[in-house]
Amino acid sequence: MTKEEFYESQERFQLLAESSLAGMYLIQDGKFKYVNQAFADLFGYQVEEVLNDLQMTELIYPEDRPLVQENIRRRIEGDENAIRYTFRGLRKNKSIIHVEVHGRRVQFNDRAGVIGTLIDITETKRAEEELRCLNDQLESRIKERTHELEASYRELKLAHAKLLQQEKMASIGQLAAGIAHEINTPIQFVNDNVTFLHTSMDELLAGMQMFLNIIQSASEETLLSDIKNNFNAIAEDLELDYLKTEIPQSFETLQEGIKRISRIVIAMKDFSQPSGNILEPVDVGKLIHTAAEVSCHAWKHVADLTIETPDTSVFVNGLKDELGQVVLNLITNAADAIEDTQLGEKAVRGRIQIQARIAEDKWAEIIVKDTGCGMPPEILSKIFDPFFTTKPVGHGSGQGLAIAYHIIKDKHGGELHVESRPNEGSTFVVRLPALP
């Protein structure tokens, strides 16, 4: 084989490796013999730095070095041909990343080595930790709310206190169930895409091994022809065109799923933060966005929800968690009212419009308007009564609006009004003294 032919075959191999979005490496005699650009980018180095200036252990978190070294040894010595595991890596700026390794034993230049790929799973690990924290916070929040309800039980009449407790516990249960469903969906397609990427990386490794076998078994005279004769067959067998399209899309889907989980976690952290019955400045616009996020499971299948807030934030002095409960109740009630109009075959998707503004009298207003079934006058006059409900048995206590009225009027000195007509939807207006 001529030098030109050798360099041409080498360029083809490098093209396959450099087109991968996963980091690829070849370790032999305890040193990196090859890394692609994705590998170097993952750790924040240039390729030349990794190959010429670094020891392998410098890229591994100290506590994980024995694990990595043992796994490499087992493959070099033939105890285990292929392996998949995770460890913590160290980037050039000393930040820690979590990576998943797919490695395989190879023979290169008549000596044993390890070839493999690295996938950055730092965001996945972070999302898992945030989910664990969220579960702990939800459990803590339920306990705290139970104590708050017990205090309310002593303040109100026995029957009314029981209804308050039932309604709040039902809201927490529905919220927890809805959030679990909302988180489960992105987790499922994150899991599906990680599984696909695992399979794809194994296939690419197998393809790389095929090329290594061809290079090692061919003579200098036949190397180029052997590669040419086998390239198309290997590429077709690996479905390279398919993988080149699907792998980037899979990474994009992973990012979308993780971002969705992160938004839910952030909203739940904000929503579940207890006020401790201490009044504080509350950002009305942020309060609305948080309530809309955590109640997404209630309205997303029946309505489009829009939020309009002024350019300058509107603040009120209040109990943040209880005001959040009011907005949450108004959104879920709007979703229920819209769902009641969608029983026939010609169901039309509804609309929920939420607006925050400062009225002419300098009071803050939260307006929740829906295109639901509306209410006749005989029901409209009773909806804030503590023991009045139009919900059938098994669909909650129906005390959400009574509780909302109690929170706004009795605890915050505000107002809660409603305008509604049958088949024309409803508009609820919350009014609270605004902070200057």
- Of 435 and 219, the structure prediction assigns the larger pLDDT to 435
Indicate if 246 and 166 belong to the same structural domain: yes
- Of 258 and 14, the structure prediction assigns the larger pLDDT to 258
**Stretch 218-240: mean pLDDT, rounded?**
67
Indicate if 266 and 294 belong to the same structural domain: no
pLDDT category at 293 given cuts 50, 70, 90 is confident
Boundary residue ending a domain (274, 292, 310):
274
Boundary residue ending a domain (236, 253, 274):
274
- Domain-located, residue 329: yes
Indicate if 308 and 409 belong to the same structural domain: yes
The pLDDT assigned to 412 comes to 92
- Domain-located, residue 8: no
Query: 158-217 and 320-339 helices cross at what angle (nearest 10)?
Result: 80
**Stretch 260-264: mean pLDDT, rounded?**
71
* CATH number, position 373: 3.30.565.10
- Domain-located, residue 12: no
Instruction: Locate 393 and state its tokens.
Output: 């048995």
**Stretch 150-158: mean pLDDT, rounded?**
63
Percent of the chain with pLDDT over 90: 26
| pTM, 2 dp | 0.49
Boundary residue ending a domain (120, 142, 174):
120
Indicate if 135 and 198 belong to the same structural domain: yes
Count up the domains in the chain and report the number.
Answer: 3
Q: Which of 28-32, 131-135, 241-245, 419-423 has the highest mean pLDDT?
A: 419-423
- Residue-wise pLDDT for 159-213, tens only, equals 544 454 455 545 555 566 666 666 777 777 677 778 877 787 877 787 777 767 7
**Stretch 271-292: mean pLDDT, rounded?**
83
- Domain-located, residue 9: no
Checking if the pLDDT of 288 tops 60, the result is: yes
Indicate if 245 and 365 belong to the same structural domain: no
Indicate if 270 and 294 belong to the same structural domain: no
- Residue 48 belongs to domain spanning: 17-120
Q: Do residues 343 and 390 touch, judged by C-beta distance below 8 A?
A: no
56 C-beta neighbours (distance < 10 Å), count: 16
- Domain-located, residue 10: no
- Domain-located, residue 207: yes
**Stretch 317-326: mean pLDDT, rounded?**
89
291 Cβ contact partners less than 8 Å away, ≥ 6 residues apart: 271, 324, 327, 328, 331
Indicate if 168 and 261 belong to the same structural domain: yes
Instruction: Locate 54 and state its tokens.
Output: 């670094």
pLDDT category at 40 given cuts 50, 70, 90 is very high
Of 399, 370, 406, 366, the C-alpha closest to 383 is 399
366 Cβ contact partners less than 8 Å away, ≥ 6 residues apart: 284, 288, 327, 330, 354, 355, 356, 429, 430, 432
- Domain-located, residue 107: yes
Pinpoint the alpha helices (H) of 340-430. 377-380, 400-405
The pLDDT assigned to 165 comes to 45
* CATH number, position 73: 3.30.450.20
Strands 280-283 and 315-318: antiparallel
Instruction: Locate 77 and state its tokens.
Output: 């010595």
Indicate if 224 and 109 belong to the same structural domain: no
Indicate if 179 and 125 belong to the same structural domain: yes
Give the DSSP H/E element, type plus range, for residue 31.
strand 31-35
- Domain-located, residue 5: no
Rounded mean pLDDT of the chain?
81
The pLDDT assigned to 62 comes to 94
Q: Do residues 302 and 346 touch, judged by C-beta distance below 8 A?
A: no
Indicate if 111 and 139 belong to the same structural domain: no
Indicate if 110 and 60 belong to the same structural domain: yes
**Stretch 350-373: mean pLDDT, rounded?**
93
